[in-house]
Amino acid sequence: MTTWTACGVACAALVAGFTQVPQFRTLVKEVRVDVLVTNKGQPVTGLTVADFEVRDNGVLQRINSLTSEELPVNVILVLDVSASVEGERLQHLRQAGHLLLSALRLTDQAALVRFADTVGIGPALTSDAASVEAALASPTQGSDTPLVDAAASALILASVSPGPRALVLVFSDGVEVSSYLTRTEVLETAKRSDAVVYGVTLDKSHQTILGDLAETTGGEVIRLDKVNDLDTAFARVLDRFRHRYVLSFTPASDSAPGWHRLEVRVKPRGVKVTARAGYFGG
């Protein structure tokens, strides 16, 4: 496992070899967007290209392709293992991680980021789920909660690893404490990554960082009342992610540098569409 102290994720990224700047993924000037469509909380399946409408900075785009759950998934587990997650909470957290890993397909990959006094990556993305489980079971210690640093580490890891889809699943039972990076910096990293962030939390304070990351990347936040609901929550996240659509389009004109606001709509009425807020062009 690669670990580091509060010197910061920027230092750690260089040490770990993650030297590339996270970039929202484009394929020959194509922009790819991960989209969840739900009706009364349940994923809507069976939609086609004709059902979707995408606007880039208000300009209607022509959708090139639409795919769904057959694509492989890179799952990065980002887990709070600080002192507040000892005992029963840690037991349920490890069980939830085990159940999620056992649900992965042969074409999927998984990675683990844990955080307490330090942030650690280990292993990086691999198809060997057993190695991720072994790391999940290893002991940890520390009382701090560098949630921002851990989330940024996962986004960097997702951006420099090959794979058509990346799910960053973040669990924390508390609020941000002791990160080197700022909220603004991790959100900028999220804007430049095509990973989708889902948050699972027991925190009742409605902390904004998980919500902001989810909104920026088109993910969701699940707030739990009981720790024994963790396994159900993790399974729900993976299932909902598999039922997302991935659409691509080529900007109507050369993508100008800077932030591009995205709007994704579907024709069926009464549904909710969740997608990333935008991407950086140029």
pLDDT at 212: 94
Residue 129 lies in a domain: yes
Asked whether residue 83 falls in the same domain as residue 55, the answer is no
Residue 8 lies in a domain: no
Residue 87 lies in a domain: yes
Model pLDDT for residues 112-166, shown as the tens digit of each residue: 999 998 899 989 999 999 999 999 988 777 788 899 999 999 999 998 877 779 9
Residue 172 lies in a domain: yes
Q: Rounded to the nearest 5°, which phi and psi values hold at 169?
A: -105, 110
What's the number of domains the chain is made of?
A: 2
Residue 18 lies in a domain: no
pLDDT at 17: 42
Asked whether residue 109 falls in the same domain as residue 222, the answer is yes
> When comparing pLDDT for 207 and 52, which is higher?
52
Asked whether residue 143 falls in the same domain as residue 207, the answer is yes
Contact (Cβ atoms closer than 8 angstroms) between residue 240 and residue 207: no
Asked whether residue 197 falls in the same domain as residue 121, the answer is yes
At position 127, the amino acid (one-letter code) is: S
Q: Mean of the per-residue pLDDT values for the chain?
A: 86
Model pLDDT for residues 60-83, shown as the tens digit of each residue: 999 999 998 778 999 999 999 988
Burial call 161-191: b when 16+ CB within 10 Å, e when fewer: bebbbbbbbbbbbbebebbbbebebbbbbbb
Residue 232 lies in a domain: yes
Q: If you write DSSP's letter for every residue of 145-181 in order, what string do you get? A: B-HHHHHHHHHHHHHTS--S-EEEEEEESS--BS-SS
Q: Measured at the alpha carbon of residue 113, what is the angle toward residues 93 and 5, in degrees to the nearest 5?
A: 120
Asked whether residue 263 falls in the same domain as residue 213, the answer is no
Rounded distance, CA 168 to CA 132, Å?
Answer: 15
Rounded distance, CA 148 to CA 173, Å?
Answer: 14
At position 83, the amino acid (one-letter code) is: A
pLDDT band at residue 197 using 50, 70 and 90 as cut-offs: very high
pLDDT band at residue 175 using 50, 70 and 90 as cut-offs: confident
Model pLDDT for residues 232-267, shown as the tens digit of each residue: 999 999 999 999 999 999 987 666 788 999 999 999
Asked whether residue 81 falls in the same domain as residue 199, the answer is yes
Asked whether residue 223 falls in the same domain as residue 275, the answer is no
Establish whether the linkage from the previous residue to 123 is cis, with ω within 30° of 0: yes
pLDDT at 59: 93
Q: If you write DSSP's letter for every residue of 92-110 in order, what string do you get? A: HHHHHHHHHHHT--TT-EE
Asked whether residue 107 falls in the same domain as residue 204, the answer is yes
Residue 2 lies in a domain: no
Residue 15 lies in a domain: no
HSE at residue 84, side-chain half, CA atoms within 13 A, is 19
Which residues neighbour 253 within 8 Å (Cβ) at sequence distance 6 or greater? none
> When comparing pLDDT for 145 and 191, which is higher?
191
pLDDT band at residue 1 using 50, 70 and 90 as cut-offs: very low
Asked whether residue 93 falls in the same domain as residue 191, the answer is yes
> When comparing pLDDT for 268 and 110, which is higher?
110
Rounded distance, CA 13 to CA 8, Å?
Answer: 9
Model pLDDT for residues 205-233, shown as the tens digit of each residue: 666 799 999 999 999 999 998 889 999 99
> When comparing pLDDT for 106 and 160, which is higher?
106
Among residues 31, 27, 34, 13, the alpha carbon closest in space to that of 198 is found at 34
Asked whether residue 50 falls in the same domain as residue 81, the answer is no
- The domain of 201 spans 72-242
What CATH number does the domain containing 194 carry?
Answer: 3.40.50.410
Asked whether residue 58 falls in the same domain as residue 82, the answer is no
Asked whether residue 236 falls in the same domain as residue 254, the answer is no
Q: Region 192-197: what's the mean pLDDT?
A: 94
DSSP annotation of 21: P
